[in-house]
Structure 1
Amino acid sequence: MKTLSIVLAALLSLSSTAQAHEVWVERDGTGPARIYLGEPGEALPEGGDPEFEKLKSPKLVPASSAAQVRKTGYIEVAAPPGDVRVIDDSVFAPWGEEGKKEGVIYYARAGRAEAKAGLPLEIVPTAANADSFTLLRNGKPVSAAKLTVISPDKWSKAFVTDAQGRVTLPLKDKGRYILSATQTEKGDLSLAGQKVATLYHIATLTFLND
């Protein structure tokens, strides 16, 4: 019984960790992209997030053969000018009981120059450099969804998308903003060659407000 309790506690901890963690991308100008795994609302621990080692090979969209260089707490990769998009479905292996397994897919974007989506779940500006955004899932707006905003000084607030899947944000401070949204999918699904009953789709968008 004690062993079973330990296993269950570990699975619950993994579920909590996977949902709390996010993948996000930062970029300054046309410099290299920096891909992070962690909790963007918290200060990055010295040496990077404890789970960072699980971020092994995030995929740029469109695909890129550029070398990914591991730094302290992030992966650095050269990217063409413009917005940068990343997808990763291999950070956390599916967890939980057989028949009830859960999994997570991360989608990340840096920049708000393009008013279009390139990922299955994406937070998209309504126009280049706009302060309003649409949450799109497979190209369709998602209404009544929670979208969390973290300001440059780590102020955090949740907004809810309207009937058109949009939110308008009070971008008063200069610096880097991080937006995030989660969509939960249930059914007869698969991830990493395993059957899962629940998939968490977690999207982030980062941009600099000058």
Structure 2
Amino acid sequence: MKKSLLAFMAIIGLSAPLAAHQLWLEREGSVLHEYFGHWLSFKEKADGKRLDAIKGVELSPKDAYLKTVRGEDGIAIFVNKVGDMGVTEVMTPRKGKFVDFTVRTIFLAREGRSESKTLLALDMVPESPNSNTFTLMLDGKALPKAKVALMAPNTWSKNFMSDEAGKVTLQTPWLGNYVAQLDYTDKTKGEAEGIAYDQTNYVMTLHFSVK
């Protein structure tokens, strides 16, 4: 599986340290299912160690949060509102396997494209409800010339690039669920949890359905 996953990452143009894991949400009524792994291939399980780092409490909007229940292959977040939701998970800084410096990784996930509002520090905001055109936003500002990797329900994938205004239009040829991934690297040094880090890697996903 490791070789096939690395080959897939090479095809869609993602670097191994960032794309090895992603966080995503899938909604079922008033419950957000939060998963950690890779949407196309695996989910971390409760009997391992990696899922323990995912808390499932930093929800946006905050007032929609009710409670978190841990499961066998993810986390269930109970909410009291309809509409798009986002979650943020800030990881403890650590030296990566593929690089010789310390990285703080921030995973972000958005479920839905029904509202034209920013939910996350790094976000994909739909132009209108169910639109395939999005504005990429970083800390409230449009993010130009950034790559979005789109994964389709039949494992088809394609890269798209935002324009000078941060806008990008995705292609969704099939019915079903899609996940788009947006990565950004901030090379500002800092410290978190008493650990100095050299850069912050943001890994953001958007999960939405085409019906």
TM-score range, shorter chain: 0.7 to 0.9
Return the offset for 1:74: 1.2
CA RMSD of aligned residues (A): 2.5
Return the offset for 1:146: 0.9
Letter aligned with residue 81 of structure 1: V
Please give the per-residue CA displacement for 1:25-49, whole angstroms capped at 9, x wherever unaligned: 1113x33110011111325478798
Report if aligned partners of 1:124, 1:133 keep a CA contact under 8 Å in 2: yes
Query: Counterparts of 1:155 and 1:50 in 2: how far apart (Å)?
Result: 30
Find the counterpart in structure 1 of residue 12 from structure 2: none
Q: Call closer, same or farther: CA 1:181–1:59 in 2, change over 3 Å.
A: same
Letter aligned with residue 66 of structure 1: L
SS of 2:30 mapped into structure 1: coil
Return the offset for 1:52: 2.4
Please say if 1:201 is aligned against 2:202. Answer: yes
Of residues 133-142 and 42-51 in structure 1, the stretch that sits farther from structure 2 once superposed is 42-51
Letter aligned with residue 140 of structure 1: K
Report if aligned partners of 1:19, 1:200 keep a CA contact under 8 Å in 2: no
Q: For structure 1, which runs of at least 5 residues remain unmatched after alignment? A: 1-14
Question: What pairs up with 1:116-155 in 2 under 5 angstroms?
Answer: 116-155=117-156
Higher strand share: 2
Q: For structure 2, which runs of at least 5 residues remain unmatched after alignment? A: 1-14
Could you say which structure has the larger radius of gyration?
Answer: 1
Find the counterpart in structure 1 of residue 188 from structure 2: 187
How many residue pairs match? The answer is 192
Letter aligned with residue 69 of structure 1: V
**Stretches (4+) displaced over 3 A:** 15-19, 43-50
SS of 1:52 mapped into structure 2: helix
Report if aligned partners of 2:112, 2:208 keep a CA contact under 8 Å in 1: yes
Return the offset for 1:51: 2.8
Query: Counterparts of 1:49 and 1:149 in 2: how far apart (Å)?
Result: 28
Query: Counterparts of 2:147 and 2:202 in 1: how far apart (Å)?
Result: 13
Report if aligned partners of 2:18, 2:203 keep a CA contact under 8 Å in 1: no
Report if aligned partners of 2:189, 2:197 keep a CA contact under 8 Å in 1: yes
Question: What pairs up with 1:59-208 in 2 under 5 angstroms?
Answer: 59-63=58-62, 65-79=65-79, 80-90=81-91, 93-96=92-95, 100-208=101-209
Query: Counterparts of 1:45 and 1:187 in 2: how far apart (Å)?
Result: 30
Q: Call closer, same or farther: CA 1:197–1:171 in 2, change over 3 Å.
A: same
Please give the per-residue CA displacement for 1:78-105, whole angstroms capped at 9, x wherever unaligned: 1221111101103xx21129x9421101
Letter aligned with residue 175 of structure 2: K
Query: Counterparts of 1:189 and 1:157 in 2: how far apart (Å)?
Result: 34
Return the offset for 1:129: 0.8
Of residues 165-174 and 64-73 in structure 1, the stretch that sits farther from structure 2 once superposed is 64-73
